[in-house]
Structure 1
């Protein structure tokens, strides 16, 4: 039975979250995309649930909210707000909006077995999350590993979403009181004959691996499956999947750590050395030694919803006071460029050719939509003193190279004390080494949070950014902090003379 939604586009929840569209629907809930009216540029996912004949009670909804609040892992969504059930039974959970496509959507569009190296990578990331959940006391059982709950975010990364039926492990014996889980991916004990446990999640992992290995054709083991898989995936991965899908829990691996240990040799075998030396996309980033006066500021977020775009727009607005400035949207999935263009109704720049989207000028800043392979923006009449690149959260070809090679790399992280470890996890996942010239900023973070993160990272320059709803505002507390962060002040003059640095190779 589908949930009848009560929210609509343009409706504002709690005086703060403006609904912009419907993301998806399920049997007991609907998920909307919403913009934050207090923090411009932030987007959230709003999960709407409604009580229906007692099948999904207020206690279960509150339990999901409480469970999410207690969790802190970079591959799990962060909860931002919770509205308990009203008199009509509607409740709302506001959480991180995760950009990407679900594994189900991807496999529907690419109906073929995934390469073994990708299957192993996805398995390792899921095992990292499961180990985190199962290490709680008592362990937290996810219970609904399925393709539509796996969000592929790009750059080989994924996130686990929707904790609608997760629960803590019960100490009492017996069967689960509710038979929940997705048929074909849920462990047999979730439908009678026993109680779900961390081993139930390992069965769900096996079903996902088989789903990816068979091109979306199978999720449960059947006679002759070895023959169907042989040649599609590494032979040594087949017995791992078979053991995960054993009917009796005691015959499976004993923990997520055991599965990870079994996969590590396979991961090493699948590694392709040629990829380690793959050429980077053509993009000539000016360095500090360049004779040109142009300064390139690359703004990258460690996670969605932290205010990366808001920060990049505020940086552009501040720098426009000192010289000709260009703001560039590099993230291919972002729509901020089009939204600003529609909002401003600004005229397009003349004399610009061969660009995906015609640039325009508004409020003393030029706005561009490019990709890393397009190079830097170029005007025919004069050169830029500053170029600000909004990289979003990366995850596409060339993003990390652009960030590392820019003259002023700015990493946007969470200022919440309980999320400071996210930056450490991001550094490990991205395989980038923290450099002395990086600036790390914490939108809405306190000075104490900046000091704490700086201490954890060692030599990093960490800045807490004060709240400022309008990123285009010149007056306020945010501008001086940006100037200090970028080492750019009114005492320095920046040239607008043409420089060969912007001339593309032909």
Structure 2
């Protein structure tokens, strides 16, 4: 660690206990690292290093003790703290929370979350504020903003970074420090006046307004021309947001408890169908859980070796160029190939999430590279163990909790298993069939089974797409293309053996020179148009044309 720069290299040991894995965040108050707790068998922690001034030493100790006694499911547990050293560097150690910040999730979904998502998150944050304000004395958080909220593996909104939280001083006329984030801070904070519990309520309103308007700040709003981009926002909720955003604190709701009561009433009306929105509260199998906030595009090989994995990675490259956040998931039930293909031993972060048999929750960090999140099968588990992961509602929930609006599910030939075939037919928003120019394994039985799955997809008006893989000029090309049940939407050319070998040994999966990426984008842009959720990318057909200039 270098003085007050707070820079720590991966592998460094802090306080003879915490091994730094990688940086996970930074701000004006410090840097945060993922670390392994060596005393507790490598349990993941978030290690926050903070640069303090000499006069802040006592305040830091007092506030660290305050945080250590907080216990709430939507607040990370503080497990340890270290007083400022001779360089003024202090540390707080807390439980690591796997997930996206609300800011990341908001951007991934095209800056438009559903009202159900926003309402549920608002309820959870209001419960946290009620808990904080109920302490003696009350704790005022003072910095509600999207980057300070993490959506965890259970879809909980977890409030992090208590860097400027303070006990409320009832008799003070101003705060000791004028802190807060412009756009979300209350007017009294920006003016340097004393903040109290009602300042947090303003922050909650500003956060909700930001989410419902597609990213506009409440401080610039015009009450008579505001436009929520999210559909089905009840009038009662709109009115509550306006009250929260009152410039005069005395005009805001009196407490987080009263706001929470109002929010729960709105949710109850919506769930009963009496309000202007409705939750999808259905349970069970089949189509009962089609409504969700993730789009699943399943990529299938018409027969083993047709190239579904290659096409999946080519689609991922094209989506990245188009600026679309997405996850690439290897479907359970077969051999683990993606880990080796992408050189996971070298590139996959420590403790990152696999798509293994424990599909109910996201337990670790996600392997991310640019716009793509990779979730391969665990190569250290036997293939037989992989098969025990049943494709059911829990797997849909697992995919949703990855935090990407679009999932490319590399099914390859696993669709031939009856349970997988039924699940894909009921759940996938689109299926992308891949067949290459070596169709010796395209048996009559596989054609018949594929046709029934194709009909199931079309029967519920989901997209069914064919891609001709390894296309090139040869005498029987016309006959080959006539074998497809419908004309292929597009074709990917055959790459040279040298290019494919280099991609494998480089851990890229597919040839990744700039000209190759341009080819993927131009060849697959019509497929992207069919599978990218509305609102996530403005127009994937023209996205990032500057990339090729």
Work out the CA distance in 1 between the residues paired with 2:387 and 2:39. 26
Query: C-alpha offsets along residues 36-80 of structure 1, whole Å, 9 cap, x if unaligned?
Result: 11222410000001135x5x8223322331111121111111111
* Unpaired segments ≥5 residues, structure 2: 288-350, 368-374, 402-416, 422-549
Give 1:357 shift.
Answer: 2.9
Kept after mapping to 2: 8 A contact 1:117/1:270: no
1:165 is displaced (CA, Å) by 0.7
Map 1:27-426 to 2 at 5 A. 27-51=28-52, 57-192=56-191, 194-220=193-219, 222-224=221-223, 227-229=226-228, 232=231, 233-271=233-271, 275-280=280-285, 328-330=357-359, 333-334=362-363, 357=377, 359-360=379-380, 368=386, 372-373=390-391, 396=398
Separation in structure 2 between the aligned mates of residue 335 and residue 168 of structure 1, nearest angstrom: 33
Which string of whole-angstrom CA distances, capped at 9 and with x for unpartnered residues, describes residues 208-241 of structure 1? 1101111222333521455412873223211111
Partner Cα distance (1:199, 1:142) in 2? 11
Q: Which residue of 2 aligns with 1:14?
A: 15
- CA gap 1:334/1:184 in 2 versus in 1, 3 angstroms: same
Q: Given the superposition, is the C-alpha separation of residues 369 and 31 from structure 1 closer, same or farther in structure 2, using an over 3 Å criterion? A: farther
- Residue 229 of structure 1 aligns to a residue in which SS? coil
The question of whether the paired residues in 2 share the 8 Å contact of 1:45 and 1:96 is answered with yes
SS in structure 2 of the partner of residue 125 of structure 1:
helix
TM-score (norm 2): 0.53
CA–CA distance in structure 1, aligned partners of residues 195 and 150 of structure 2: 24
The alpha-carbon deviation at position 371 of structure 1 amounts to 5.5
Cα distance, 1:397 vs structure 2: 6.0
- Distance, in Å, in 1 between the alignment partners of 2:101 and 2:257 is 25
Give the Cα–Cα distance (whole angstroms) in 2 for the partners of residues 37 and 276 of structure 1: 42
Question: 1:91 is paired with a residue of what secondary structure?
Answer: strand
Question: Partner of 1:48: helix, strand, or coil?
Answer: strand
Deviations 1:270-317 (A, max 9, x none): 2267733243479xxxxxxxxxxxxxxxxxxxxxxxxxxx9xxxxxxx
Distance 1:231 1:329, change over 3 A: closer
Are the structure 2 counterparts of residues 226 and 373 from structure 1 closer, same or farther at C-alpha, using a change threshold of 3 Å? farther
Task: Name 2:6's counterpart in structure 1.
Answer: 5
Which range moves more in the overlay, 15-24 or 213-222? 213-222
Task: Report the Cα offset of residue 32 of structure 1.
Answer: 0.3
Q: SS of the counterpart of 1:254?
A: coil
Residues 80, 94 of structure 1: 8 Å contact kept: yes
Alpha-carbon distance between aligned partners in 2 of 1:30 and 1:67, rounded to the nearest angstrom: 20
Distance 1:358 1:27 in 2: 38
Higher deviation after alignment, 96-105 or 214-223: 214-223
TM-score (norm 1): 0.57
Q: Are residues 263 and 83 of structure 1, via their aligned partners in 2, closer, same or farther at CA, if it must alter by over 3 Å?
A: same
RMSD: 3.5
Structure 1 position 33, deviation (Å): 0.3
Contact 1:24 1:30 in 2 (8 A): yes
Residue deviations 1:65-124, cap 9 Å, x none? 111112111111111111111111111111010111111111122233322222221111
Q: 1:328 & 1:160 partners in 2: Cα distance?
A: 30
Does the residue aligned with 2:144 lie in a helix, a strand or coil?
coil
Alpha-carbon deviation of 1:505? 6.3
| Secondary structure of 1:38 counterpart | helix
Aligned equivalents of 1:211, 1:274: Cα separation in 2: 22
Deviation readout 1:318-372 (Å, 9 max, x if unpaired): xxxxxxxxx834367556999xxxxxxxxxxxxxxxx95375468xx97649854
Distance in 2, Cα, partners of 1:141 & 1:224: 27
8 Å Cα contact 2:198-2:252 kept in structure 1: yes
Which protein shows a greater Rg? 2
Q: Greater share of helix residues, 1 or 2?
A: 2
What's the secondary structure of 2:194's corresponding residue? coil
Counterparts of residues 437-452 of structure 1 (less than 5 Å): none
Q: Give the Cα separation in 2 of the matches to 1:366 and 1:171.
A: 63
